Amino acid sequence: MTSVPGAGFDPGVSGAAIRSVRADGRAALVGYLPVGFPSTPGSLAALRALTGEGDSPGVDLVEVGIPYSDPVMDGVTVQRAGTAALERGVRTRDVFAGVEAVANTGTPAVVMTYWNLVERYGVEAFARDLAGAGGAGLITPDLTPDEGQEWIEIAEVHGLDRVFLVSPSSTDERLARTVALCRGWVYATSVMGVTGARAQTSSAAPELVRRVREAVPEAIVGVGLGVSDGAQAAEVGRFADAVVVGSALVSRLIEADEAGSPDDLTGLRALVADLAEGVRSVTTGTIAGEAGLVKQ
């Protein structure tokens, strides 16, 4: 596969944050939680906890999810939390409070959402309110660049990042086109299937990252789907610019909720600390030497 002729890569706000961490010699850590679980106020506290407290390191970028009634791309963990959030009254507009809560900590926030929710809200209105809340952009797992011209144009007007997904099944042509139309970073889904923590990370991920960088050498690549602990975060951090963790974090909130202590963030904080230690255990030099994939 050849590179896209003349294609650069706009890091936007979220990609610049990842690139800054890369300059420090490690992969960035990206954490996902849905707004509204265990409650809307409780989710804001959990989102803030992701960013670290005191001397404890946190994530470098937060994905704020919007619960959806037909989450076909989500695994059972995220589905359970999202369904409970909907039953407890969360609304699409609550995502902006989540974004603002994160942005006020100084950590960039992007929204992960099914596209139907943005359309129902109004694309222009959603972009306006997201930018107003201090959000960096959107991850749109079910919107392809082929069908995303309206979003691409409106995101440009509001200075918002647009993060599209690529997968191991993406053809070379589609992969190159998708990467070229991203702003911020590229979300590389390392496995075929729904979200969920796994005992092992995907063996397809390093090859997918290589293909992305072959298509657009300047691209910033985050790898998600499957990371559940610090050891796996370190493994992915050897070849990706960012390590994305979602279901494992959500599961800590579910455990606390089921134990009758929905506001207890002890388990969440412990996992964040483990993940942060994991990405910090692998230096850029080690990554370049062992994987041969990281841009210097």
CA 146/CA 221 separation, integer angstroms: 20
Domain boundaries, the chain: 12-290
Catalytic residue among 10, 53, 60, 63: 63
Dump pLDDT digits (tens) for 183-238: 999 999 975 333 444 444 457 899 999 999 999 999 999 998 789 999 999 999 99
Cβ proximity of 205 and 188 under 8 Å: yes
Paired with 144 in beta bridges are none
Residue 200: the pLDDT is 46
Superfamily of domain 12-290: Aldolase class I (3.20.20.70)
- Alpha-carbon span 118 to 262, nearest angstrom: 29
- Residues 6 or more apart in contact with residue 22 via CB below 8 angstroms: 28, 241, 284, 294
Between CA 294 and CA 287 the distance in angstroms is 7
pLDDT tens digits for 34-67?
A: 999 999 999 999 999 999 987 789 999 999 999 9
Say whether 74 is catalytic.
Answer: yes
**Where do runs of H (alpha helix) occur along 24-165?**
40-50, 76-87, 94-103, 115-121, 123-132, 149-158
From first CA to last CA, the distance across the chain in angstroms is 21
Confidence of residue 265 (pLDDT cuts 50, 70, 90): very high
**Residue 274 designated active-site:** no
| SS3 state at 128 | helix
Contact 148, 162 (CB under 8 A): yes
Distance set, CA 176 to CA 1, 45, 214, 294 (Å): 9, 39, 9, 18
Name the active-site residue from 74, 94, 235, 257.
74
Q: Is the pLDDT of residue 72 over 90?
A: no
pLDDT, mean of residues 170-184:
95
Cβ–Cβ under 8 Å, residues 200 and 175? no
